[in-house]
Structure 1
Amino acid sequence: MTISVILPTYNRSGCLVAAMNSVLAQSHEDLELIVVDDGSTEDIESVVREVGDQRIRYVRRARNGGAAAARNTGLGHAKGEYIAFQDSDDLWLPGKLQKQFALFSSVPSHVGVVTGAKIIYGRDNQWNYGPGRVAYAPNPGGRLRLDEDQLGRLLTENRISLQNALFRKNCIPDTEWFDVCARANEDWDFAIRLAQHTSIYEDPDPVVLGFISTDSISTNGRKQIIGLLRILKKNREVLRGRKKQRSLMLIDVGRYFYTVGKTKRAIRFLAAALKEYPPHVKLLWSTLLKKLFRRRPQRAQA
């Protein structure tokens, strides 16, 4: 069964070959690797051609559009019945595809996604960044269950990193999976839409090694919070009946504005959070001075 692997890249020729080889060396060999050059200024095509594997397809975008647009471009060229994503600065562990493909035969037919975990170098589990720090994400203690409200969980906790997952191509009806207007948290936005169409099976074993780069979106708090605000706006109808989740998201926005010195905006969002779900007054009261403003928005896992 052919699996289409989509790898978007922008000016990362130094680590691209290693990321590609971790895909091509998989024990599940029936795959196509679609490398989407997102308008790089570096000569990415030569780097890709030198790998010399007939399963590779090189696609170049005329303009840089961001990871979401590049992934959508790759989906437009995908021929496989299953879809996987790789990043140009990550490494798949051996057996990733074979393990996840086999899991599909053991889970209910309504499951459209199988996902695993990632070992991340460059940050710890408290979202502190720097050399020598290592994290395991997502936390295996809170695995998604098939019998729970997965959408409710994913509204405030993004447990899906795209590189960790294998998707049925028909798991979501949209022709474009990702929001091209979002430059951060686009995978979280996708996970929320995904949970409204299919079920997700989470396996605790790691399948990816991730590395925090100096240009990693996950280190940019401003972009992350803009992505969260967009998620709030796009999911108004879903959140209308989930006041607790919306309140937590508003608290995250308020925390961010407080940390960057926008006190009036912070108070506005925190007040809205309490209006939405008054029981969170206990959370705010007990953590206002210390813990609240250390809480990180539930962003992408890498």
Structure 2
Amino acid sequence: MNARRGFESHMRHCDDASGIQIGARDRPMKVSIIIRTYNRGYIIGEAIQSALRQTLDDFEIIVVDDGSSDDTADVVERFRSEKIRYIRHDGNLGVSAAGNTGIKAAQGEFIAHLDSDDMWSPDLLARLVAVLQQYDEVAAAFSDVEVHRGTQISSIVGSMRAFPKLLASRGDGSDVFLFSSREMYLCLLEEVPIKPTALLVRRRVLDEIGGYDEAWRSGEDWELYLRIAKRYGFGYVNRKLAVMRVLADSTLAKYQEQDKTSLLRLAVSEKKGLVQDGEALQVVNRAIYHHSKDLGWIYLHTDRRLKSIKTYLRGFFETGQVPLIVRAGVALMPLQLVSGLKSMFLSGGRLQG
């Protein structure tokens, strides 16, 4: 689907979305905070509180309820803040549609997305807005995110392969880094160091490129970032300004599989337009290799051996990476033997190679 056609079609469709306007302002503001949610009434209040505690005060909050069947509306209404607007979809249209609904309703110069189970540091908006105000050449600014998974705490940037190397190459100890369109595009081809909950984008850029492509039910953020990076640079604040919580109800394995499937499909799709760009082809092939490896491993350890083998082989035919053929051979072995190999060669949760 063409992203702009899909976006404009959605904008017409969403005129029928039911809305409960808890608060309203009759003038534009600096930032519109969009909270997309579905059945998160038990935790969305913490996300809203973290938004209301921002040191930068010129913002609105738009809660887009994607057809929840729980008490989300009641939780939002209890805040009774003039900064909050609540919009409800009649059905579950998906996260991309919810994002486009929020963008349509937004009055701010800058757009932020706060996931309903995440939280912000009080200075997130102030720091990201400062970058966009100081550097006109960048379309968006983002920060690192602290990830809470039970008692384990990590960070998004710390889990990346390519982006930390890009930061280290600057070596100036700065809190703020600027990346050109080309630098950011090549980085995003390989991995996604950006989480929507720690990103601020200029509204005019979203209007220009067409918002979320609703053909993508998962991986929609990466697809959007790639389109932005093809035209504009990004700013990065080297601080953890948001907290992302991996909750039990997130059915982590299911979402990991969905994400890897979408990321692999998007990487293969993006590769088709890079036949004249040798550098980008090399980068996207690395991404296809890693996504194929990870997705094949997920299939193998959920007893879907044939899908695992097909994933490895397709990855090999796309990239020519021999280790994927080896993995396809491993997938043919009895599971007990595979488990033995895993104990011998596993490093950091993945087979070497």
Normalising by structure 1, report the TM-score. Answer: 0.83
- 1:168-219 deviations in Å (ceiling 9; x for gaps): 1112445642222323221111111110121101111111011002243764
Match of 2:274 in 1: 239
Aligned to 1:200: 234
Instruction: Please list the CA deviations of residues 18-62 of structure 1 after superposition, one character each: whole Å capped at 9, or x if unmatched.
Output: 100111111111111000010000132221111011010010011
Counterpart of 1:125 in structure 2 is none
Counterpart contact for 1:6–1:74, Cα < 8 Å: yes
Partner residue, 2:184: 150
Q: Where does residue 299 of structure 1 map in the other structure?
A: none
Say if 2:164 is the partner of 1:141.
Answer: yes
**CA RMSD, Structure 1 to Structure 2 (Å):** 2.8
Distance 1:253 1:2, change over 3 A: closer
Q: Which amino acid aligns with 1:222?
A: E
Q: State whether structure 2 residue 313 is matched by structure 1 residue 268.
A: yes
CA distance in 1, matches of 2:241, 2:128: 9
Distance across 2 between alignment mates of 1:250 and 1:19: 34
Q: How far 1:63 moved relative to its partner?
A: 0.9
Say whether the 8 Å CA contact 2:110–2:200 is kept in structure 1.
Answer: yes
Which whole-Å deviations, capped at 9, do the CAs of 1:55-113 have from their partners, x for residues lacking one? 10010011112221111111010011111110110111111111111122333x21011
Contact 1:248 1:273 in 2 (8 A): no
Contact map agreement 2:209 2:228 (CA 8 A) in 1:
no
Contact 1:116 1:164 in 2 (8 A): yes
Alignment of 1:246-285 (within 5 A): 246-255=284-293, 256-260=295-299, 261=305, 262-275=307-320
Percent pairwise identity: 25
Matched, 1:116 2:143: yes
Q: Greater shift after overlay, 184-193 or 113-122?
A: 184-193
Measured after TM superposition, the shift of residue 236 of structure 1 is 3.9
Match of 1:126 in 2: none
Query: Helix, strand or coil for the counterpart of 2:292?
Result: helix
Displacement of 1:244 after TM fit? Answer: 1.2
Distance in 1 separating the partners of 2:109 and 2:319? 45
Cα distance in 1 for residues equivalent to 2:122 and 2:101? 27
Letter in 2 for 1:247: N
Q: Secondary structure at the match of 1:105?
A: helix
**What is the CA–CA distance in structure 2 between the aligned matches of 1:295 and 1:150, rounded to whole Å?**
28
Q: Is the 8 A contact 2:67 2:91 kept in 1?
A: yes
Secondary structure of 2:216 counterpart: coil
Partner of 1:227: 262
**What's the secondary structure of 1:239's corresponding residue?**
coil
Q: Would you say how many aligned residue pairs link Structure 1 and Structure 2?
A: 282
In 2, Cα distance between equivalents of 1:150 and 1:284: 31
Match of 1:180 in 2: 214
Larger-Rg structure: 2
Sort the Cα spacing of 1:42 and 1:203 in 2 relative to 1 into closer, same or farther, 3 A.
same
Q: Give deviations 1:219-278, integer Å, cap 9, x for gaps.
A: 423211321243135424433333212322321343122542235313422422444xxx
Report the TM-score, using the length of structure 2 for normalisation: 0.72
Structure 2 residues not aligned, in runs of 5+? 1-28, 168-176, 300-304, 331-344
Q: 1:291 Cα shift? A: 6.0
Contiguous gaps of at least 5 residues in structure 1: 123-130, 297-302
Worse-matched range after superposition: 234-243 or 59-68: 234-243
- Please give the alpha-carbon distance, in whole angstroms, between the structure 2 residues aligned to 1:247 and 1:237: 11
Matches of 2:189 and 2:351 in 1, distance apart?
A: 16
8 Å Cα contact 2:316-2:322 kept in structure 1 = no
SS in 1 for 2:205: coil
Alpha-carbon distance in 1 for matches of 2:273, 2:324: 23
Aligned counterpart in structure 2 of residue 66 of structure 1, from 94, 98, 105 = 94
- Aligned position for 2:51: 23
